[in-house]
A and B are shown apart, each in its own frame.
Chain A
């Protein structure tokens, strides 16, 4: 059995699956139920000066008949008294000593940081997560993403936290920046032990077409919220990987953003995160999803004969490179397996309207298996994406006789490039 115990910046947990700081971690009883379900860690709903929330708070994007491919919220940090939160945190740690409890924190002044860090550690927190990411409400008060977007402020407050903390400090970064790197480096400069990313993305989830008011509706008005859910995962994967692959950045990463199942979690691990945090899928389907995540991760590690998480974390990072380092002479063409094709011809339409007009209806009108004009196929794989049948369309490499050559090599060493296809 593979060992899936995790360690992110010294915060240890029985598995790499943590609940992100959010409504599922609003209280001790919730977190204890989550631990019973199998979650390895929980980042407590952000603690600070308790706020007043609005109704309603959430919006979701449906797709394919199910709600929530994208999700957003305008909820703020905890609205519960700090005393209650810390009392429950101590209770959780007493009953679940091996699980990771991380206190997410958001306050303003140095004195406030000092006090809330002390109270968190007194309650038994295994680590702290500085919420420099919340993109709605709190940032209007000079906190959350207002801090995360200013590297100097980020580094300064991080250094305060490090000054007062004895447990590991993670900085939670906002994706609402043009380049994540300076912000990760700022946290590193401030002395952080690790980072977690991404927080939610500034967004308007939609507009209610009946009332002509953006969603979620708050008595005839709305505001921008934080976007999350599976739709944001590509953005999150990129930002986490952008830090993981940069040689100047050396901190552990807790990956967040659009993780709904074990495959998604493995993607974050492969791109350099040593733990993953989940919120939206739990809000939509419950704590129970973790059972499948644990089994799926273990099965994946068994399949690839990986004993511990260390053998997994970052394995895909070296393959993530610049466009200029990609082999321009590598050539593929689409092949359609006539035995698997069901004749929907979605590939024909996709290729004709969205690609290079090289997949055609079968000239034999009695057959519905399309034909690929390989002399025109550029290997874009749009057909494979629209095909509803697993394994029916494959992208097959073509031996064109050219040695591998990247754009960078072409510029520097005049490497020969194969003739272009589909560009007439």
Chain B
């Protein structure tokens, strides 16, 4: 994999939630009630046995603690930092009902997993060679989780990744105050350390390599290609300097450098979590004035409330009930955004659009889907651009499985990990059954 450049824009950020010291971790771990059939476990998409790993921190069994985490979630280190714990495990901690601060599960998970990765290889060995092989298309969290579990089952694995490096959004898309790209990459490498995972980068499927070739090479396929490029508004001038998709902008910041010279005001269009990240990141990169432009009300945003609170603390402004209708342009670059006021039903009020001067406009109104990539793959259906599959990732083609954003339409890293892991179990069932039939 290609190493990351040393002078990345994201390096100007510091850790938003600094790691716990051993004393802080022990004190927090000792507060955990060790609930039975705990709500926090149920809130975790990967079902990590949270009370158990916390108890092991309290007893000083850090190795066992990390193993409890990794058994359920091999990307437990990045999930510890990027999971929206406020609405998952921490949100369901029984202490909330008592008015007592809930256990800081994310921070404790980071404590255990950071220590484990610092110590050396993860404690997993590949299973005995099954003689079977699986091709994984896409190298993000879903495929990494799938690959690792498949290796534990003893199947041979090849990952095909279009980019120069593995890790997917964990490397290109996570807010740098949560997880810098180098850490996401190091975690991907720790997953590969189980051995026997071939990685082919710089290859796009099906343009560079056809589905037929892959089906020929492998006994089964897993598709974890994620989402496509940022959606566009469809307005004139969108291709000019100063207008970018938010995901593309974040990737540029994570892997290289963004140029914000002369940007006094930046507008971010959208109300989801990409928009939340983008406004905070722009403030962190030193843009003096950052405005979130959203069609609906504050309460209607799909972005997490705690993220928006964080953005507001950084001084981010909001323009609610506003629809961009035109770009202001001068000398081939954007200088502003025309915003049409909307009513509570998000319909235009019919009054004159307002001008929001802005030297940078980021579009965070969703991402395209990649369902079209599977056209021509026998039996695989798509719906609204997503690849259709059952809970275990089985598509209409018995040899093809899917997981992650291209299946769920865009959820958390932890959902992708769960889906990749569960697909590996389904693939293993298929390959064992097929093996039995051959025998």
- Residues on A lying within 8 angstroms of B by beta carbon are 64-65, 342-346, 348-349, 361, 368, 388-389
On whether A344 and B30 interact (CB within 8 A), knowing A368-B39, A389-B98, the answer reads no
Nearest CB of chain B from residue A5's CB, rounded to whole Å:
41
Nearest CB of chain B from residue A222's CB, rounded to whole Å:
21
- Give the total number of A-B pairs whose CB atoms are below 8 A apart: 36
Contacts of B304 in A (CB 8 A): none
B37 touching A348 by the CB < 8 A rule? yes
Cα-based distance from A64 to B31 in the complex (angstroms): 7
On whether A343 and B26 interact (CB within 8 A), knowing A348-B37, A349-B36, A368-B39, the answer reads no
Nearest CB of chain B from residue A403's CB, rounded to whole Å:
39
Contact of A344 among B27, B29, B31, B36 (CB under 8 A): B36
Cα-based distance from A176 to B35 in the complex (angstroms): 39
B26 touching A344 by the CB < 8 A rule? no
Contacts of A65 in B (CB 8 A): 26-27, 29-31, 58
Contacts of B58 in A (CB 8 A): 65
A343 touching B30 by the CB < 8 A rule? no
Nearest CB of chain B from residue A82's CB, rounded to whole Å:
43
Q: Name which residue of chain A comes closest to B29, CB basis.
A: A65
Q: Name which residue of chain B comes closest to A348, CB basis.
A: B36
Knowing that A348-B36, A389-B98 touch, tell me 8 more A-B residue pairs with CB under 8 angstroms: A64-B30, A65-B26, A65-B31, A65-B58, A344-B33, A346-B34, A346-B35, A348-B37
Contacts of B30 in A (CB 8 A): 64-65
Interface size on B, residues (CB 8 A): 17
Q: Is the interface of B mostly helix, strand, loop or mixed?
A: helix
Nearest CB of chain A from residue B121's CB, rounded to whole Å:
24
B27 touching A343 by the CB < 8 A rule? no
Contacts of A361 in B (CB 8 A): 37
Does B351 make an interface contact (CB < 8 A)?
no
Contacts of B26 in A (CB 8 A): 65
Cα-based distance from A34 to B94 in the complex (angstroms): 43
Q: Name which residue of chain B comes closest to A65, CB basis.
A: B30
A346 touching B36 by the CB < 8 A rule? yes
Cα-based distance from A349 to B34 in the complex (angstroms): 11
Does B97 make an interface contact (CB < 8 A)?
yes
Nearest CB of chain A from residue B20's CB, rounded to whole Å:
13
Contacts of A64 in B (CB 8 A): 30
Contact of A343 among B29, B31, B34, B97 (CB under 8 A): B97
Nearest 4 A-B pairs (CB), nearest first? Answer: A65-B30, A349-B36, A342-B97, A344-B35
Contacts of B34 in A (CB 8 A): 346
Contacts of A388 in B (CB 8 A): 33, 98
Contacts of A346 in B (CB 8 A): 33-36
Nearest CB of chain A from residue B301's CB, rounded to whole Å:
28
0/1 per residue, B26-49, Cβ < 8 Å to A?
A: 110111011111110000000000
Cα-based distance from A349 to B27 in the complex (angstroms): 24
On whether A342 and B37 interact (CB within 8 A), knowing A65-B27, A65-B30, the answer reads no
On whether A342 and B27 interact (CB within 8 A), knowing A348-B36, A348-B37, A368-B39, the answer reads no
Contacts of B27 in A (CB 8 A): 65
0/1 per residue, B377-393, Cβ < 8 Å to A?
A: 00000000000000000
